[in-house]
Amino acid sequence: MQTYHVAKNGRLSNPGTSAAPFLTIQQAAEVAQAGDTVLVHEGIYREWVRPRQAGISEFRPITYQAAPGEKVQIKGSEIISQWKQVTGSVYQAVIPNTFFGEFNPYKEVVWGDWMTETTRVAHLGEVYLNGQAMYEATSLAGVHTPVSRATVEEFFVFVDVAERYPERLQYTWYAEVDEENTTIYANFQEVNPAEALVEINVRPACFYPETNGMDYIVLRGFEISQAACKWAPPSGDQPGMVGPRWSRGWLIEDNLLHDAKCSAISLGKVAESGDNYYSRRKDKPGYTYQLESVFTAEDQGWSKERIGSHTIRRNEIYDCGQNGIVGHLGCVFSKIYDNHIHDISMKREYRGWEIAGIKLHAAIDVEIRHNHIHDCSCGTWLDWQTQGTQITKNIYYDNGLDFFVEVSHGPYLVANNVFGSRFALRNFSQGGAYVNNLIAGNIDWEDVRDRATPYHLPHSTKVKGYAVVYGGDDRWYNNLFIGRPDADYVGTSKYDGHPTSLQAFIDEVQSYGPVDVERFQQIKEPVYIGNNLYLAGATAFEKETEPVLMTDFATKLEIRRDNEGTVQLTVTLPENFRQHQVEMQTSASLPRTRLTDGEYENSDGRPVVIDTDLLDQAFQQICGPLQHLQGGENHVTIWK
C-alpha cells in the first residue's frame, strides 16, 4: 500500500512522494492501485479527476483524501479576468472556442427526457461572481435589464425567489457562440470584475470515471464545485459533478459539494441502458423507455454483486440546479445518512420532473437516514421500485414538498421523520409503512392506473413482476399529525372506504365469484391504521384503531435554524399528551404487502424493530419521532 502526495508546488515530472509531490490529482489517479491513498494538499485544483483503477473491496479501496486540516478544492471552472466594459455595469469577455476544447457548456443546453420547460432555454454554462452563481438571461437585452418579479414568478413554483434572493436576481449573464469565439456578457452591478473573482464552468464533472467498473473508491474531505454537468433523467445517462458511474462500493464522505449545474452526486445509470430516447426519437413515451432500461440493465449485469452498495455520509450539498443526489438503478443497496442538503433547484432556471434534494429511482434496499434537508423545491423523491427502502430519522422543513414516493409497490418504511413544510407528503404508491413521524403539512394521495412499474424479489434486482398502483395497502401507526391553516389536508381520512384487513379485501373481491384483474382494480385495497394523534384540524380514518382526536387544540409548531446550523423545534402539546400510549412497531406488527408479498425487514433479512426515535432515545410508547416530548411547550434541538 502506497501513499501518493499531490500539492500545488508539485511538478508533472515528480514521482508523487511527500518530498516531490504530483502537481495534479489526475497524475495520482493514473497510477494509484487498490489499497493506495492519494493525499491532496491545500489549494485549488481545476481539473476533472477520472479514476483509472478500481479498488478490490471495502478493505482495499483506493482513497482520495484531502490532507487533514487543509482546505482542498476541486473546481470545474476557470478564472476569466479579461473583461471589457460595454456600458454601465455590463461587461464582455471574448473567449476563443479552443479554450473549451470538445466541450463548450455555453453551446450545450440543459436538455433531455422529463424536461417540462422547453420555451426558456438554459445552457450548461455558468458564471460565478466571487463564488456566487449569476442568472442566465434569455437574451442580451436581459443582461441590460434587471430580472423582473413577474419573470421570476413564472419559473419559481413553490418559493418566491424575488423575496428569497432579491440581491442575486440583478446579476445576469448571456452568451453567444459563433464558429470561433464564445462571447459572454455579464451585468456585475456595482462590482468591478477586475477587482473580483469571476469564474466560468468549463468541465462536465470534477470527480467522475470515464469507464464503468471503477469499484471501491473513497472520496473524503474535499470542497468540490462549479461543474457543468448535464440534466440527469432516469431514462438517460446520469453523470454528476461527483459519482461512481456504473460501479460498486464507493464511500463519499465529509465533503462540501455545491454549484453543480444539475446534480452534485450521481449514483445513476449510464447511456448503455438507454439515453434520452424519447427526446431523441419521440416515438414512445419516456415511461416506456424507462421501463425498457430496467430490463436492459438487468441483461447488462445489474445486480447486487456488481452495482451499488455505495455510502454517502456527512456531506453538505447545496446550490445545485437539479439534485443533491440522483440515481436510477445504480443507487441500489446504498446508504445515505448524516448529510445536510439544502438550496437545491431554488434558482429554477430550468424545469423538469426529476428534481429534488435526493431523487432516486429503483431505491432497492436503500437506507436514507438522519439527513437534514431544507430549502429544496422537493426534499426527497423516490420514484419507481421503492422496495426494502428505509427513510428514517430525517428532518424536513422549508421545502416546496418534503417527501414524495411515486409508482412504487413497497415494502418501504418511513419512520421517525419530521415533515415540517406546508406540503409534507405526496403518496402516489402503495405498500408503505409510516410510523412515529411528525407530519405538519399537506398530504396528497393518488392511485396511478395508467403506468405499471416493476417490483422485485426481496433484496434483489431480479424483476418479479409489474403492476399499476391501486392506492392503499399502507400502514400508519403512532404518527403525530398537526394541521395548519395553509394546508388543505392533514391526516388519514382520505382512506375512508378502504377495508382494514387483507382477508376483508379478498372476501369482497371473491364475493363476485371467480374474477380477473377488473375486480381487483375496482375494490379498494386494505389499509392498516391505528394509534395516531390528530391535532389542530387533522382528520382520522373512519375505521382507525384507537385514534386520539384533539383537533381543536391550538398547537404551535416552529422549526428554526440559527447561524451556527443548530436546528430547534418548538411545539406546544396538550397537557395530557403522554397519556396516549402506543405500541412499538416491528416486522411482526406490520402486515406484509399485498402485491409484492414482501415483509418489512432490514436489508440483511433481520426483523425491523422501531425502538429508538429521531434522537436515538429509547421508545417510550409516545406518538411521533421525539419520545421525550411533554404536554405544554417543548423546545428541542433536533440537529447540530
468-506 residue pLDDT tens: 999 999 999 999 999 999 899 999 999 999 999 999 999
Asked if the structure places residue 184 within a domain, the reply is yes
Asked if the structure places residue 11 within a domain, the reply is no
Report the pLDDT value the prediction gives residue 116, as an integer from 0 to 100. 87
| pLDDT cut 70: percent of the chain above it | 96
Report the pLDDT value the prediction gives residue 490, as an integer from 0 to 100. 96
Whole-number mean pLDDT of the chain?
Answer: 94
DSSP 301: T
Q: For residue 492, give its domain range.
A: 217-555+578-614
Report the pLDDT value the prediction gives residue 147, as an integer from 0 to 100. 58
Peptide bond into 411 cis (omega under 30): yes
Asked if the structure places residue 25 within a domain, the reply is no
276 in the same domain as 168: no
Asked if the structure places residue 508 within a domain, the reply is yes
- Reply yes or no on whether the pLDDT at 148 is more than 60: no
Asked if the structure places residue 183 within a domain, the reply is yes
263 in the same domain as 401: yes
Asked if the structure places residue 476 within a domain, the reply is yes
Residue type, 281: R
Judge whether 51 and 58 are in contact, CB under 8 Å.
no
Q: Of 201, 231, 258, which residue sits at a domain end?
A: 201
- Reply yes or no on whether the pLDDT at 457 is more than 80: yes
420 in the same domain as 292: yes
Q: Of 176, 201, 226, which residue sits at a domain end?
A: 201
Q: pLDDT digits over 297-333, tens only?
A: 999 999 999 999 999 999 999 999 999 999 999 999 9
Residue type, 53: Q
Contact residues for 473 (Cβ-Cβ < 8 A; gap 6+): 410, 430, 431, 525, 526, 527, 593, 594, 595
Query: pLDDT tier at 145 (50, 70, 90 boundaries)?
Result: confident
260 in the same domain as 167: no
304 in the same domain as 236: yes
537 in the same domain as 582: yes
Asked if the structure places residue 298 within a domain, the reply is yes
Report the pLDDT value the prediction gives residue 170, as an integer from 0 to 100. 84
Query: pLDDT tier at 165 (50, 70, 90 boundaries)?
Result: low
Output the nine-digit C-alpha cell for 63: 482513497
241 in the same domain as 178: no
Q: pLDDT digits over 71-130, tens only?
A: 999 999 999 999 999 999 999 999 999 999 999 999 999 999 999 876 788 999 999 999
Q: pLDDT digits over 606-633, tens only?
A: 999 999 999 999 999 999 999 999 999 9
Output the nine-digit C-alpha cell for 255: 465533503
488 in the same domain as 456: yes
Judge whether 613 and 562 are in contact, CB under 8 Å.
no
Judge whether 456 and 463 are in contact, CB under 8 Å.
yes
376 in the same domain as 495: yes
Asked if the structure places residue 44 within a domain, the reply is no
Q: pLDDT digits over 377-394, tens only?
A: 999 999 999 999 999 999
Query: pLDDT tier at 69 (50, 70, 90 boundaries)?
Result: very high
CATH number where 112 lies: 2.60.40.1180
Q: How many domains are contained in the chain?
A: 2
239 in the same domain as 180: no
403 in the same domain as 541: yes
Cα-atom radius of gyration of the chain, to the nearest Å? 25
CB atoms within 10 A of CB 334: 26
221 in the same domain as 178: no
Rounded to an integer, what distance in angstroms lies between the CA atom of residue 273 and that of residue 292?
8
Element (H or E) spanning 639, and its range?
strand 632-639
Q: Of 168, 201, 234, which residue sits at a domain end?
A: 201
Q: pLDDT digits over 239-285, tens only?
A: 999 999 999 999 999 999 999 999 999 999 999 999 999 999 999 99
- Reply yes or no on whether the pLDDT at 452 is more than 70: yes
CATH number where 401 lies: 2.160.20.10
